[in-house]
Structure 1
Amino acid sequence: MPASLSELQTPGLELDRPDGKAGSPVGMAEYTAPLVGGEEDEDAELPPDFNRLWTSAQENPLDFTSWTELLQYCEQESHVKASRRALSSFLVRYPLCYGYWKKFADLERRAGNTKRAEEVCVEGLKAIPLSIDLWIHYINLLLGTLDMNLPESTQRIRSVFEEAVAAAGLDFQADRLWDLYAEWEKEQGHLSAMTAVYDRVLRIPTQLYQNHYEKLKTHITSHPPQSVLSPEEYKKIRATYRESVAQGEGTNRVSDGEERPPGEDETSETANGTDTEEAVQKMQELLLAAWEKTHAQNEAEVRKRWEFEDAIKRPYFHVKPLDKAQLKAWQSYLDWERMEAHGGNIEGDVTQEQEAEKCDNCVSGHARVLFLFERCLIACSLYEEFWTKYVQYLEPHGLDDTRTVFRRACEIHLPHKHSIHLQWATFEERYGNLQEARRILQALEQALPGLAVVRLRRVGLERRAGKLEVAESLLREAVEQSKAMGQLHAFYSIKLARLLFKLGKNTGRARAVLQEAIELSPDNSRLYLNLLELEVSGDPRINGSAVQQCISRALAAPLSPETKILFSQRGLQFAEDFGSSVQSVLGVYDDHQKLLKELGSRKRGAENGDNDDSEKISKTDDGSGTMAAAPPAGPPVTTTPPPPMMGDMSGSHAGYGAYGSWYQQQQYGSSYGGYHNPWSQYNQYYPPS
């Protein structure tokens, strides 16, 4: 007997059961790899082209075509060992492909491994518990292999049916599953159980809701109430019928167990104790009247959802991208269901009493929202925004369920999408699980080595945890590993220098980091700007010479003319603000004028206020903002000062912390594998709602 299907369960989604107990919720269990073949197949030779196709798929695991070619070849060859190996590896990467789970189970069944076929179905249902097709395939497998003359076989089938409708019964297209359940109960001779099945589905909005109602009416009118109802329900409907008869005749109601006047007979029973034909007809009418009201309510719910359901053209998983209309349809449906469940409040603020009332109706509520999210994440599992939307909804309802969804997204469906991993790490850090946050970021960095945003998030995590030594060590490691990539090495060097200077209060070590980076990248203006910011931040009476040395070094470096003018201007500003004598200020001013002459008339025009050239100067390759024009010849005291030196120079001289321009620099993308970092808006910390 395979593993219990109860492993699919997680608190959240419940359906009514005939015994009155809560049903099984939507499966959000961790998925494990499917079972591979037994030892008896280890010595079998593989088909001739298997190794070539297998290698192609393993080298390109994200290439869906390589996998399908491998699987088609194995199927054509009818080779059990090759098919097992290919299917097992494929389904680890694409567990939502229910059709291949069915192929895997059929493969094992044809090979005579019935138990293994059942185990494959169970593994598949862990991965995709909402698959109506896979549930029906599993049930048919059991029906074809179990000895139905045994009472335990009947009980097992009924148990699986209950698991199936609990996991997937809310699906808009779950009609085949409900019909199969009802017909199976009829075949077993359990007419009352068949009635109970139809009674349950009659309260669920499905595509063929009208068919269920018609089948229920036929079922009820084809058999006496005593056969299609449980003893408790039958007793209740008889009491209702007697009450209606008593009220119609103007007599007093006579309840079961009470003595009747001498000579008065039970009008609803014949001599042999069965219901009269009139009584049967009246009770059937009473039953159908009650179900008519339920059917009308359900029909209204179907109409609300019909337009949303009709807009969904691909409810199954596929690697092909969905068009914008499909994505918008899912977004709109989710937003509507959330508002419907929570009284028009999409944020989900609802009292427990309101939530209980919704759940009692089994039409809308938290359970349906969860189910719709699960349906959506079959078709949209490769889109981060839907996982983000799901965890944002789940977080107020339960951290464990939220964590489980993060794990499914990151470890199964989106192992190479960094944004959702960063959100998960932030989630764990926010709730104090620092070790788990570290593990997530380390695993992500191993999967996507060299991704700058991940290393910086690791550094930030350690810094916020008060572990400055670890943060420094991570940055130093990044500096060492990126020496062959000039732009990236400069980027990490600036980050390390800032950490040492701002938090470590160690100017000397920060200076050494920047000077070493300048030796490797003498044409990187950001390094000079950050070194200048470091020197200017000190005591000007002590650091004056260091500031001028930094400026002189920048002027001698292979930097653009515009950048050199910037440094010369700042040197002049520093001299004006902190120079010890007017002679020193005049000397710096003269050097500045000589630089303008050396750069030519075009640059001189820019410094004297030419609009076109000044605009060009504002677009320097170091990401700096607009620079003030240089003064005309005359006393230096009339010089219009350039922007003050302040803040973080890693991305712009305009302000500390404005390093969004660094992330968006084109040269960084070209020098580092074309990676364009979206982190400048911090959307992995606070994803859009």
Structure 2
Amino acid sequence: MATECETSGNGELVEPSAMETANVPTLPPPGMSDENGCAHSATEAFAQGDTASFSPPQAKEDEEGDLPADFERLWNAAHDNAHDFTSWTDLLQYCEQEGHSVASQRALMAFLGRYPLCYGYWKKFADMERRAGNNDKAAEVCIQGLQSIPLSVDLWIHYINLLLGTLDMNLPESPTRIRSVFEDAVVASGLDFHSDRLWDLYVEWEKEQGNLRNVTAVLDRVLKLPTQNYSTHYDKFKALLSGNEPKEMLSLEEYEEVRALCRETQKAERADQAKEKGKEMPPGEEEPATPEGTDSVELMQRIRDQVLSRREKIYQENENEVRKRWNFEDTIKRPYFHVKPLDQIQLRGWHAYLDWELAELNKDADNKDSETDADAKDDTESPEATAQTRRGMEECEVARDDHRVRFLFERCLIACALYEEFWTRYIQYLETRSVDQVRVVYKRACLHLPSNPNLHMRRATFEERHGDLAEARRVLEALDKNRPGLVVVRVRRAALERRAGQLERSEALLQEAVSQSKEKPTLHAFFSIKLARLLLKLGGNPGRARSVLQEALEISPSNDKLHLNLLELEVSSELCSSAEAVQECVTRALAAPLAPHAKILLSQRGLQFVEEYSNSIQSVLSFYEDHQKLLKELGGIKREAENKDEGREKVAKSEDAPADGASAEAPPTDPQAPVTVPPPPTMDMSAQSGGYGGYSNWYQQPQYGNYGYQNTWNYNQGYYPPS
């Protein structure tokens, strides 16, 4: 077994040059038939996208025996570093080298549960069971693999070959089962550009069964599909037609239709020839007499020519479709899954391919609408002629519909399963079509990318928007456990509970975050402010809100945002009890190790409060005198700091000037002028996919932006005369 799992184009294992970690993915399974053990509707499978957990045959406890000596060490290493692909392949290689079937089975089950898109290992698993004589278990492993990756042509071929080699073909039900599996295979993966080997296998098997009509039916289907070896299928049809009677290979309906058309054509030609010779043929002798039930050689050739002419139209149409896709397909060098990153050329190629297929879908829809309008306005053409025209269009039409677009997305998401951008595109495509299908794709995407917070939060938002609060809650809770410490996740959880009317749960989540972040003062202050606001605004409990902020100040006395929020709480309280509290807040802030501009701002806010609500002019003037002293003491320091900040801002603006040419307001130069702090920049609500809100400044950042109240206190100090 290769030490690392990179599969080649034919599904075999090769060694890559580098390894990256991957996440647990699960793709939608085909529906499984109880009768034949295979998919009966793979189209519905990835349209509905039901996921299936991997549960291959379990080893019996009494069969385990003693595991190899280093198994536990390698097993623990793989599970301790679950995203380290090399640890897993080391475990698998060791089990294979030891030849221990139970250890190999256990390792493969764990590995494929985490990396189910590595179809080469599904094949190895099935082969291991078959070598052990467990044919039923081998088939079951193939079925499980196809549930995870139904588009895998290689895995379908492996499963079919397994059945061909193990089933008793003398039993009447065996051919039925094989044909059913072939049908499931071509429905699930037959649209793949590289599915020719599967179609060829189907054609050859039907030839062995001796039913030429079935062979023709299969060839007619693949002739309409743009595949890499499209011309070989047409050549096979021509060879089949030239070597067999059309009556034996065509359906009865088509044969009678073509035969009648050819007879009428032949009859008309002979009538024209008779007119040219100046005589009329006797009745009943319009064509040479032939034995009843047989066709003349001339008529037989006409039938062949007509049948081939019909397929030629389809072939030309299909060739045009292949030509359109060829360059896109040529950029795809790795159509299979691997943890190693794709190069930018392939990523851009996938995006361009999807763009083109979507444009073709829209163009095709517009054309169909135009044809419908034209049919409605056409009063001259007979119903029979209209029906015949439509049949001809259907015969020449190459599949170019919603199913093909989804199929390309599914192909893309095998190779690009670890790229969030492609999952997002698929979700956006499905959003206008089916809520249930979007839900399933979100589920699959999150299984592939369990550590991607943006994706999980968008999924939670989607579930909440569509009324499934329990699922939204579960998604955020799982993300919080998987990625502890992400501020935005805990904030989202608290906001979800608040919107659901569960204020106690919201409060508990924030309280837990406050308790767990005491060793991180900045984070502790952030959650304390969130909790205090909840208690004040929604809980109606200013006392508890005050206690939360005061406790936070004991841990972070230099956090100006805590002082600002506590001051705002006191300012908004009832006047009978707020005057002294406001004075106490300002005094505490001035004694704290705050920056000069923060102290001036807090003092200014206190001055504004007493001017607006104090009953004594003496208290107003006293507060004003203290504020003027503070300006004299700290004004020079503040202006020096502002000048440094202004210099940095100018450099930044020269490098990245606003598009509208607007400039920021210059800081005041008059020491008596009001000192204000500009509000934080407006967060782009669309920058976060899902439209929920802009938490980008908090997400995984050591600092969390200006989460205090914005300063709107443009107070005119010039109202008072200088002292």
TM-score calculated relative to the size of structure 1: 0.83
The residue that corresponds to 1:475 in the other structure is 510
Q: Within the alignment, does 1:392 sit opposite 2:458 as a pair? A: no
The alpha carbon displacement at 1:541 in A equals 6.9
Aligned mates of 1:207, 1:306 — CA distance in 2: 8
Aligned mates of 2:566, 2:304 — CA distance in 1: 90
Aligned mates of 1:372, 1:478 — CA distance in 2: 44
The residue that corresponds to 2:197 in the other structure is 176
Aligned mates of 1:145, 1:69 — CA distance in 2: 32
Q: 2:414 aligns with which of 374, 378, 385?
A: 378
The residue that corresponds to 1:679 in the other structure is none
Q: Per-residue CA shift, 1:254-293, capped at 9, x if unaligned?
A: xxxxxx99865975x8437443332222211111100000
Query: Which deviates more, 49-58 or 586-595?
Result: 586-595
**SS where residue 519 of structure 2 aligns?**
coil
Which structure 2 residues correspond to residues 300-339 of structure 1 after superposition, within 5 A? Answer: 300-339=320-359
Q: Within the alignment, does 1:367 sit opposite 2:403 as a pair? A: yes
Contiguous gaps of at least 5 residues in structure 2: 1-31, 274-280, 374-389, 652-663, 684-691, 706-723
The alpha carbon displacement at 1:327 in A equals 1.7
8 Å Cα contact 2:510-2:527 kept in structure 1 = yes
Q: Kindly tell me: are residues 129 and 658 of structure 1, through their superposed partners in 2, closer, same or farther at Cα, counting changes over 3 Å?
A: closer
**SS where residue 42 of structure 1 aligns?**
helix
The residue that corresponds to 1:685 in the other structure is none
Q: Per-residue CA shift, 1:385-430, capped at 9, x if unaligned?
A: 21111112112211222211111122x3122222222112111111
Which structure 2 residues correspond to residues 517-596 of structure 1 after superposition, within 5 A? Answer: 517-538=552-573, 542-578=577-613, 580-595=615-630
The residue that corresponds to 1:233 in the other structure is 254
**What amino acid maps onto 2:339 in structure 1?**
V
Aligned mates of 2:693, 2:580 — CA distance in 1: 28
Q: Kindly tell me: are residues 488 and 616 of structure 1, through their superposed partners in 2, closer, same or farther at Cα, counting changes over 3 Å?
A: same
Q: Within the alignment, does 1:641 sit opposite 2:661 as a pair? A: no
Q: Kindly tell me: are residues 565 and 10 of structure 1, through their superposed partners in 2, closer, same or farther at Cα, counting changes over 3 Å?
A: farther
The alpha carbon displacement at 1:473 in A equals 2.3
Q: Kindly tell me: are residues 436 and 350 of structure 1, through their superposed partners in 2, closer, same or farther at Cα, counting changes over 3 Å?
A: farther
Q: 2:438 aligns with which of 402, 416, 423?
A: 402
Query: Which deviates more, 125-134 or 441-450?
Result: 441-450
The alpha carbon displacement at 1:294 in A equals 0.5
Q: 2:637 aligns with which of 581, 594, 603?
A: 603
The residue that corresponds to 1:421 in the other structure is 456
8 Å Cα contact 1:606-1:614 kept in structure 2 = no
8 Å Cα contact 2:39-2:181 kept in structure 1 = no
Aligned mates of 2:358, 2:105 — CA distance in 1: 42
Aligned mates of 2:648, 2:362 — CA distance in 1: 55
The residue that corresponds to 2:309 in the other structure is 289
8 Å Cα contact 2:586-2:602 kept in structure 1 = yes
Which structure 2 residues correspond to residues 230-309 of structure 1 after superposition, within 5 A? Answer: 230-250=251-271, 264=285, 267=288, 270-271=290-291, 273-309=293-329
The alpha carbon displacement at 1:450 in A equals 3.5
Aligned mates of 1:299, 1:648 — CA distance in 2: 55
Q: Per-residue CA shift, 1:621-679, capped at 9, x if unaligned?
A: xxxx98954854xxxxxx422338999999xxxxxx9985851685348xxxxxx9xxx
Q: Per-residue CA shift, 1:325-380, capped at 9, x if unaligned?
A: 2222111211221121122889x9989979x9999935211010110111011011
Q: Kindly tell me: are residues 69 and 434 of structure 1, through their superposed partners in 2, closer, same or farther at Cα, counting changes over 3 Å?
A: same
**What amino acid maps onto 1:378 in structure 2?**
I
**What amino acid maps onto 2:674 in structure 1?**
P
Aligned mates of 2:363, 2:220 — CA distance in 1: 26
Q: Kindly tell me: are residues 201 and 648 of structure 1, through their superposed partners in 2, closer, same or farther at Cα, counting changes over 3 Å?
A: closer
**What amino acid maps onto 1:87 in structure 2?**
L
Q: Within the alignment, does 1:493 sit opposite 2:528 as a pair? A: yes
Q: Per-residue CA shift, 1:556-595, capped at 9, x if unaligned?
A: 1222344333333433444555555554344334434544
Aligned mates of 2:588, 2:650 — CA distance in 1: 22
Aligned mates of 1:529, 1:345 — CA distance in 2: 59
The residue that corresponds to 1:69 in the other structure is 90
Aligned mates of 1:534, 1:28 — CA distance in 2: 51
Q: Kindly tell me: are residues 644 and 273 of structure 1, through their superposed partners in 2, closer, same or farther at Cα, counting changes over 3 Å?
A: closer
Aligned mates of 1:595, 1:665 — CA distance in 2: 37
* Number of residue pairs matched by the alignment: 629
The alpha carbon displacement at 1:553 in A equals 1.0
Which structure 2 residues correspond to residues 170-209 of structure 1 after superposition, within 5 A? Answer: 170-209=191-230
Aligned mates of 2:34, 2:230 — CA distance in 1: 33
The alpha carbon displacement at 1:41 in A equals 6.1
Aligned mates of 1:581, 1:81 — CA distance in 2: 88
Percent sequence identity over matched residues? 55
8 Å Cα contact 2:586-2:606 kept in structure 1 = yes
**SS where residue 271 of structure 1 aligns?**
coil
The residue that corresponds to 1:88 in the other structure is 109
The residue that corresponds to 1:454 in the other structure is 489
Q: Per-residue CA shift, 1:452-498, capped at 9, x if unaligned?
A: 22221122122222222322222222222322332222111111111
Which structure has the higher relative contact order (CA within 8 Å, separation 6+)? 2
Q: Kindly tell me: are residues 597 and 296 of structure 1, through their superposed partners in 2, closer, same or farther at Cα, counting changes over 3 Å?
A: same
The residue that corresponds to 2:376 in the other structure is none
The alpha carbon displacement at 1:514 in A equals 0.9
Q: Kindly tell me: are residues 29 and 215 of structure 1, through their superposed partners in 2, closer, same or farther at Cα, counting changes over 3 Å?
A: same
8 Å Cα contact 1:475-1:492 kept in structure 2 = yes
**What amino acid maps onto 2:351 in structure 1?**
Q
Aligned mates of 1:297, 1:196 — CA distance in 2: 18
8 Å Cα contact 2:116-2:148 kept in structure 1 = yes
Query: Which deviates more, 41-50 or 81-90?
Result: 41-50
Aligned mates of 1:413, 1:349 — CA distance in 2: 38
**SS where residue 702 of structure 2 aligns?**
helix
Aligned mates of 1:648, 1:201 — CA distance in 2: 58
The residue that corresponds to 1:220 in the other structure is 241
The residue that corresponds to 2:129 in the other structure is 108
8 Å Cα contact 1:573-1:642 kept in structure 2 = no
Aligned mates of 2:262, 2:129 — CA distance in 1: 55
**SS where residue 594 of structure 2 aligns?**
coil
**SS where residue 64 of structure 2 aligns?**
coil
The alpha carbon displacement at 1:78 in A equals 2.0
The residue that corresponds to 1:29 in the other structure is 50
Q: Kindly tell me: are residues 129 and 365 of structure 1, through their superposed partners in 2, closer, same or farther at Cα, counting changes over 3 Å?
A: same
Aligned mates of 2:253, 2:483 — CA distance in 1: 62
Q: Per-residue CA shift, 1:25-52, capped at 9, x if unaligned?
A: 6672312123144317633322222222
8 Å Cα contact 2:38-2:143 kept in structure 1 = no
Contiguous gaps of at least 5 residues in structure 1: 15-23, 253-259, 620-624, 633-638, 651-656, 670-675, 677-689
Aligned mates of 1:351, 1:425 — CA distance in 2: 41
The residue that corresponds to 1:682 in the other structure is none
